[in-house]
């Protein structure tokens, strides 16, 4: 028996060692090949083309290492800050002759697209060229491509230009079938975040605010495209209204694209711009390799910190793509106490969430602004709890297409006692020392008195929200109340109502922070929170992510991804929330 276990141990040990050695050899080979690729692709020569392939989701805070490998990531993520940094570096680099934009399906809000487009526009104004290529152009991809010197569309591709829409999913029918009764408490005529749980469609107030929001973003899009392509705005709107442009030939005839062509035609076009012989080879460098290998350090000690706050606001740490008061305050306090950090820009991309966590972070920002300037830079969304944070800053900037406002709160609790009793046959019993000791028991409904108490608590929370915004914005509470009630505004409309100080992007916010801190142009920009770089994770993602994300990035699955994500968020919406109405997708 002893000899038997000894043999088992030796076999097991040999198997483990063999596995470790095999993995080690495989990683060594991959690392060697990757190193050779990096060395080749990072060498710069005159007339080099910066290649920017955009296919996936634009994000401003990359995921924590390995979480995407473990299945906790969304579709393929593109680091927006890295793309912008590469474009800005290339603008001043004489070896970079132009940019080749390879456009696929992009998941992004309009503000992040505007950030990227502004960087491309500055690059073009420096006298360098941009060539864009796509197999399909949607409103969002064409928004980026529209400023290119040459816009190439695949001859068998498609051009989708049919206006914008905002669609919302409603779950009341599902809850009716399951005998789940949402217990809803809210303040504000426009606070429609709870409507998907209590209605079969939008209320009139919700339709009103959504239409105004959509029109504002659409008008800005049309104006931008009209200037870029020298086409009258009314003509662009007519194309969308009558669907006269849905294919390559129509897009060419309408002068929305320069020409139709395949990848070899794009190569020939680039060679012509570079004055290269037909048989010459174009020198490309990908944006990620370029910004990693050729970034120049800034020796100055004076810094402006950009603290990225992305995701829903939650009370406890539950993973990436969320904002918790604990981690946010830890980072903000560290920046406040750092003598080299002269000003802070909080980059907000959040639909809101926990009212308690929002208020806690609001207070920390107010403390910080007493020591050094704090500027809010709104991304795609800075609404409800997201606006709660922005209101505490000295100065607020937003893009015209930012979704903001939604000053209001709600409470949500799901009564599942009928589901348990009638569908599942589960019954409960209880002993208690007070009538409401089991108020939130899943086996009974709330009493009228309990509902009144919760509603009063919600109303007090709303008054606190108004007070916080009025204090931060240095406005009268009555002024805030008139434009609150949970109403959502575009960045342009928010500026008209003094919820925002200026329209602009992240670079504008950084410049404003430098101005408030009395800094010259030699300051360094430092991004937070800090995530430790993991070379193994990056390596695995680079080699294997194409297959992993192929399904999520397809046309067929993208709408359902949004639906599944919104259902997943239901678990975090119980309790008192300062949340944007619905999951707003403007396509």
> How far is 495 from 489, CA to CA, in rounded Å?
9
DSSP codes of every residue in 388-417? HHHTTSSEEEE-TT-EEE----EEEEEE-H
User: Is the pLDDT score of 195 beyond 70?
Assistant: yes
**What would the two tokens of residue 501 be?**
């100080």
DSSP H or E run through 365: helix 355-369
Partners of 307 in the beta sheet? 346, 528
Four-CA torsion 430, 435, 436, 441, nearest 10 degrees? 20
Q: What percent of the chain has pLDDT over 90?
A: 70
**How high does pLDDT run on average in the chain?**
85
DSSP H or E run through 494: helix 491-496
> How far is 412 from 355, CA to CA, in rounded Å?
12
Length of the chain: 587
Give, as one character, the DSSP assignment of residue 505: -
Distances, alpha carbon 433 to alpha carbons 22, 438, 451, in Å: 64, 10, 20
All structural domains of the chain, each given as residue ranges with its CATH number in brackets, are: 44-161+245-293 (3.90.226.10), 303-538 (3.90.226.10)
291: pLDDT confidence band, cut at 50, 70 and 90?
Answer: confident
User: Is the pLDDT score of 237 beyond 80?
Assistant: yes
The predicted pLDDT at position 552 comes to 41
What's the burial of 232, exposed, middle or buried (CB within 10 Å: 0-12/13-18/19+)?
Answer: exposed
194: pLDDT confidence band, cut at 50, 70 and 90?
Answer: confident
521: pLDDT confidence band, cut at 50, 70 and 90?
Answer: confident
Contact yes or no for 202/168 (Cβ under 8 A): yes
Residues classed as catalytic? 191, 384
| pLDDT per residue as tens digits for the range 393-415 | 999 999 999 999 999 998 888 99
Compute the average pLDDT of residues 439-459. Answer: 93
Q: What percent of the chain has pLDDT over 70?
A: 79
The predicted pLDDT at position 492 comes to 96
Give, as one character, the DSSP assignment of residue 434: S
User: Is the pLDDT score of 312 beyond 90?
Assistant: yes
Distances, alpha carbon 555 to alpha carbons 48, 133, 498, in Å: 33, 18, 39
The two beta strands, 341-350 and 374-383, are: parallel
66: pLDDT confidence band, cut at 50, 70 and 90?
Answer: very low
| CB neighbour list of residue 473: distance below 8 Å, 6 or more residues apart | 391, 480, 498, 499
Strands (E), 196-256: none
> How far is 56 from 45, CA to CA, in rounded Å?
29
Choice between 434 and 568, residue whose per-residue pLDDT is larger? 434
Compute the average pLDDT of residues 22-28. Answer: 53
The predicted pLDDT at position 412 comes to 86
DSSP codes of every residue in 247-300? SHHHHHHTTSSSEE--HHHHHHHHHHHHT--TTPPP-EEEHHHHHHHSPPP---
User: Is the pLDDT score of 563 beyond 60?
Assistant: no
Distances, alpha carbon 183 to alpha carbons 236, 387, 440, in Å: 45, 26, 11
**Which of 139-148, 201-210, 229-238, 530-539 is predicted with the least confidence, judged by mean pLDDT?**
530-539
Contact yes or no for 150/259 (Cβ under 8 A): yes
**Which of 191-195, 340-344, 519-523 is predicted with the least confidence, judged by mean pLDDT?**
191-195
| pLDDT per residue as tens digits for the range 358-382 | 999 999 999 999 999 999 999 999 9
The predicted pLDDT at position 577 comes to 55
Helices 535-549 and 2-41 meet at what angle, rounded to 10? Answer: 90
Partners of 304 in the beta sheet? 343, 525
Secondary structure class of 3 (helix, strand, coil)? helix
User: Is the pLDDT score of 37 beyond 50?
Assistant: no
pTM: 0.82
> Can you tell me which residue has the tokens 């979704």?
403
User: Is the pLDDT score of 68 beyond 50?
Assistant: no
The predicted pLDDT at position 16 comes to 63
Partners of 159 in the beta sheet? 137
| CB neighbour list of residue 570: distance below 8 Å, 6 or more residues apart | none
> How far is 343 from 335, CA to CA, in rounded Å?
9
What's the burial of 29, exposed, middle or buried (CB within 10 Å: 0-12/13-18/19+)?
Answer: exposed
Compute the average pLDDT of residues 322-338. Answer: 95
> How far is 126 from 106, CA to CA, in rounded Å?
26
Choice between 343 and 43, residue whose per-residue pLDDT is larger? 343
Angle at 578 between CA 575 and CA 580, to 5 degrees: 120
61: pLDDT confidence band, cut at 50, 70 and 90?
Answer: confident
Q: Which of 43, 95, 97, 44 is nearest to 275 (CA)?
A: 97
The predicted pLDDT at position 580 comes to 54
Determine the distance from the C-alpha atom of residue 436 to the mean position of all C-alpha atoms in its chain, rounded to a whole number. 41
> How far is 203 from 356, CA to CA, in rounded Å?
28
The predicted pLDDT at position 556 comes to 43
| pLDDT per residue as tens digits for the range 344-357 | 999 999 999 999 99
Strands (E), 44-95: 48-59, 77-79
User: Is the pLDDT score of 551 beyond 60?
Assistant: no
Partners of 310 in the beta sheet? 349
| pLDDT per residue as tens digits for the range 103-114 | 999 989 999 999
Radius of gyration of the chain (CA): 27
> How far is 276 from 98, CA to CA, in rounded Å?
14
The predicted pLDDT at position 1 comes to 55
User: Is the pLDDT score of 25 beyond 60?
Assistant: no
């Amino acid at each position: 028996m002893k000899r038997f276990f000894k043999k088992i141990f030796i076999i097991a040990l040999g198997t483990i060692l063999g596995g470790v050695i095999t993995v080690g050899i495989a990683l060594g080979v991959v690392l060697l090949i990757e190193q050779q690729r990096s060395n080749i692709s990072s060498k710069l020569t005159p007339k080099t083309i910066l290649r920017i392939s955009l296919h996936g989701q634009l994000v401003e805070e990359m995921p924590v290492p390995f979480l995407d490998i473990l299945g906790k990531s969304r579709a393929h993520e593109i680091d927006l800050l890295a793309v912008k940094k590469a474009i800005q570096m290339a603008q001043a680099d004489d070896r970079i002759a132009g940019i080749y934009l390879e456009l696929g399906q992009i998941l992004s809000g309009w503000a992040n697209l505007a950030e990227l487009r502004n960087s491309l526009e500055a690059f073009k104004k420096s006298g360098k060229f941009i060539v864009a290529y796509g197999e399909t152009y949607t409103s969002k991809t064409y928004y980026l491509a529209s400023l290119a010197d040459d816009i190439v569309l695949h001859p068998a591709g498609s051009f989708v230009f049919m206006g914008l829409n905002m669609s919302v999913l409603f779950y009341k029918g599902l809850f009716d079938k399951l005998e789940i009764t949402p217990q809803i408490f809210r303040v504000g005529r426009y606070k429609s975040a709870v409507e998907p749980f209590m209605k079969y469609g939008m209320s009139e107030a919700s339709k009103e605010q959504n239409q105004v929001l959509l029109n504002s973003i659409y008008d800005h899009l049309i104006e931008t495209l009209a200037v870029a392509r020298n086409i009258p705005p009314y003509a662009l709107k007519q194309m969308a209204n009558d669907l006269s442009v849905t294919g390559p030939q129509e897009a060419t005839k309408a002068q929305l694209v320069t020409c139709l062509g395949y990848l070899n035609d794009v190569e020939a076009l680039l060679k012509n711009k570079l004055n290269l012989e037909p048989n010459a080879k174009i020198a490309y460098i990908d944006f990620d390799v370029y910004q990693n290998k050729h970034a120049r350090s800034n020796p100055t000690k004076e810094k402006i910190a950009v603290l990225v706050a992305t995701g829903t606001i939650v009370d406890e740490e539950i993973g990436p793509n969320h904002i918790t008061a604990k981690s946010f305050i830890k980072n903000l306090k560290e920046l406040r106490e750092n003598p080299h950090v002269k000003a802070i820009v909080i980059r907000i991309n959040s639909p809101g969430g926990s009212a308690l966590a929002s208020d806690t972070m609001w207070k920390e920002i107010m403390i910080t602004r007493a020591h050094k300037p704090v500027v809010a830079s709104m991304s795609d969304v800075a609404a409800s709890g997201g606006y709660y944070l922005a209101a505490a800053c000295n100065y607020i900037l937003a893009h015209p297409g930012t979704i903001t406002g939604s000053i209001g709160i709600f409470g949500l609790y799901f009564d599942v006692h009928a589901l348990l009793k009638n569908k599942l046959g589960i019954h409960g019993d209880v002993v208690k020392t007070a009538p409401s000791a089991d108020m939130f028991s899943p086996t009974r409904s709330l009493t009228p008195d309990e509902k009144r108490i919760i509603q009063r608590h919600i109303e007090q929370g709303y008054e606190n929200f108004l007070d916080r915004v009025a204090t931060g914005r240095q406005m009268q509470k009555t002024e805030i109340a008139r434009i609150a009630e949970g109403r959502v505004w575009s960045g342009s409309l928010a500026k008209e109502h003094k919820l925002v100080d200026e329209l602009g992007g992240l670079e504008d916010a950084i410049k404003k922070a430098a101005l408030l801190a009395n800094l010259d142009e030699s300051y360094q920009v430092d991004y937070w929170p800090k995530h430790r770089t993991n070379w193994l994770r990056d390596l695995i993602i680079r080699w294997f992510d194409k297959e992993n994300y192929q399904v999520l990035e397809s046309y067929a699955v993208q709408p359902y991804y949004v639906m599944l994500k919104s259902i997943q968020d239901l678990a975090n919406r119980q309790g008192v929330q300062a949340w944007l109405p619905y999951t707003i997708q403007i396509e």
